Amino acid sequence: MTLRVAGFTWRSSAVGATQLGPVDLAVERGERVLLLGASGSGKSTLLRALAGLLGTARSGVPSGQVTLDGLDPEQSPVAGRAALLGFGFQEGRDQVLTGTVRDEVALGPRWAGQTDASSRAQAALDAVGSRVHVERDPAELSGGERQRVLVAAHLAARPGWLIFDELLTGLDGPGREAVVRAVSAIPRDVGVVVAEHEWSAWWSWATRLVILEAGRVVYDAARPAEPPQALLTRLGLAPLAPPPKVMRELGGTLFRWRGPLIRQGRSLFDGCFELRRGERVVLFGDNGVGKTTWLRTLADLGSGAWLPQDADLALSASTVLQEVGGNTELLAAFDLADRAHALPQGLSRGERQRVAVAATMALSCPFVVLDEPTAGLDHRRKAELGRQLGAYGAPTWLVATHDRVWGAGLADRVLEIRDGVLRELP
């Protein structure tokens, strides 16, 4: 039982160049494959190729062969393919199909004709530590809450293959631990492939390591006892120290906010907050505590520029250059000059994230609010983003992140929402 791509290449219409291949890769049932590569190296494209999701795509031209247990997956009916393979996209909003958490997680077993769909769904939700009510609409959950629900949906379906693209994106610490435990408990007769920038969480889980560079496989072997540090460092995949803080003089108060924060008649948390001109603030908090709701409220209150957690929602222009208002200096600062005339929506997740951050910085607003701006970025790009926010960003900004090391290394002030209270950390 093998999942295979043979001589596979992918030429992207968005950038007018080959972004993947040629690649030859075969994965056996029961293997645990950890796929690494810098932002834009072709990981997502390779995963979609493995899942048979590229043959009918309009954003590029594929060539080569893809087989799933000896069959062309694109020729399988949708329901039949769902029983064979589950695919977890980077963008969780793309996978929501129903109006309740219960139906979302039970959908796969029902498609497969299983009579125990409800019990499977509840067991999967318990496995990922989901605490949301099963009658809630997945589309209304926080990004991290929705991610747990979608992982549970794949676990409940129990296909022969599972492929996950940036599985831990948007998850808080407890969520990451719960999801890694749940995936680690998948039966050994299931083949699993995980692409992840935060690879250390998966290191002991993996039985095989595959590394991409510029669309080519440069490492493919049984997972070694120790990470190939020299290669990871060269590719920007090794953790880097945050840039040194720069002391700056702060200006007057931009605005004040006093809680509680109310959403749909429910108090999310209480507290008060004052933002000074030139200040840089980082916000921590578990999934579902109200970070996104609060940041959006502050952006509206103070006429700030707002970059949502799903950065794709901020992209609307036909070229990258248009997205940043023609600011070529900003493109160069974010290492996007070679993508100036590319279609933003056709870029990799990490590249789209950088475009969205640059476009937000290009706006003439008194301050900038960024929600999870490191999503889809490898370690080198995260370190660069820290420097870019300091050198090219607005003088005043608020950032929500689950990356405590990265966030605390940038901020003048660190806030946390915990137990229904907004408080400042020492």
Complete DSSP assignment for 356-370: HHHHHHTS--S-EEE
Kindly report the pTM of this predicted structure: 0.91
**Domain 2-234 class in CATH:** alpha beta
- pLDDT above 70 for 392: no
Tally of CA atoms within 13 A in the half-sphere of 108 that contains its CB: 29
Residue 363 to residues 252, 327, 396, Cα–Cα distance (Å):
21, 11, 13
Structure confidence by residue, pLDDT tens digits, 68-87:
878 787 777 666 677 788 99
Q: How far apart are the C-alpha atoms of 227 and 244, rounded to whole Å?
A: 27
Q: How far apart are the C-alpha atoms of 377 and 166, rounded to whole Å?
A: 10
* Average pLDDT of the residues in 206-219: 97
β-pair partners for 409: none
β-pair partners for 281: 398, 413
105 Cβ neighbours under 8 A, 6+ residues apart: 120, 121, 124, 125, 149, 152, 153, 156
Look at the domain 253-425 and name its fold: Rossmann fold (3.40.50)
Block residue for tokens 């995936």: 183
- pLDDT above 90 for 386: no
Task: Enter the tokens of residue 92.
Answer: 């969780």
Average pLDDT of the chain, as a whole number: 90
Model pLDDT, residue 302? 80
Structure confidence by residue, pLDDT tens digits, 96-143:
889 999 999 999 888 878 889 999 999 999 999 999 999 999 989 998
* Average pLDDT of the residues in 348-362: 92
Task: Enter the tokens of residue 241.
Answer: 């120290």
Any idea which of 30-44, 196-210, 242-256 has the lowest mean pLDDT? 242-256
Model pLDDT, residue 170? 87
For residues 284 and 407, the answer to whether their CB atoms sit within 8 Å is: yes
57 Cβ neighbours under 8 A, 6+ residues apart: 48
**Model confidence at 394, in pLDDT bands (50, 70, 90)?**
low
List strand residue ranges (DSSP E) for 13-154, in order.
17-28, 32-37, 60-68, 85-88
Model pLDDT, residue 241? 75
- pLDDT above 70 for 421: yes
Question: For the chain, percent helix, then strand, then coil, each to nearest 5?
Answer: 35, 25, 40
β-pair partners for 261: 269
What backbone phi and psi angles, to 5 degrees, belong to 226?
-125, 145
Structure confidence by residue, pLDDT tens digits, 312-321:
899 999 999 9
Model pLDDT, residue 379? 92
10-24, 72-86, 177-191, 393-407: which is most confident? 177-191
Structure confidence by residue, pLDDT tens digits, 226-270:
999 999 999 999 988 776 666 677 888 988 999 999 988 889 999
Residue 304 to residues 145, 218, 257, 269, Cα–Cα distance (Å):
26, 44, 14, 22
Residue 312 to residues 90, 316, 356, 376, Cα–Cα distance (Å):
11, 8, 7, 12
* Average pLDDT of the residues in 29-52: 92
β-pair partners for 6: 65
Q: How far apart are the C-alpha atoms of 182 and 169, rounded to whole Å?
A: 16
Model pLDDT, residue 373? 94
pLDDT > 70: percent of the chain: 96
For residues 195 and 79, the answer to whether their CB atoms sit within 8 Å is: no
Give which of 180, 234, 245 is closest to 379, Cα–Cα: 234
Task: Enter the tokens of residue 224.
Answer: 């070694």
Structure confidence by residue, pLDDT tens digits, 152-166:
999 999 999 999 999
Q: At what angle do helices 101-111 and 117-127 cross, to 10 degrees?
A: 120
Q: How far apart are the C-alpha atoms of 212 and 58, rounded to whole Å?
A: 24
Block residue for tokens 């301050």: 367
Which regions of the chain carry the CATH code 3.40.50.300?
Answer: 2-234, 253-425
pLDDT > 90: percent of the chain: 63
Model pLDDT, residue 57? 58
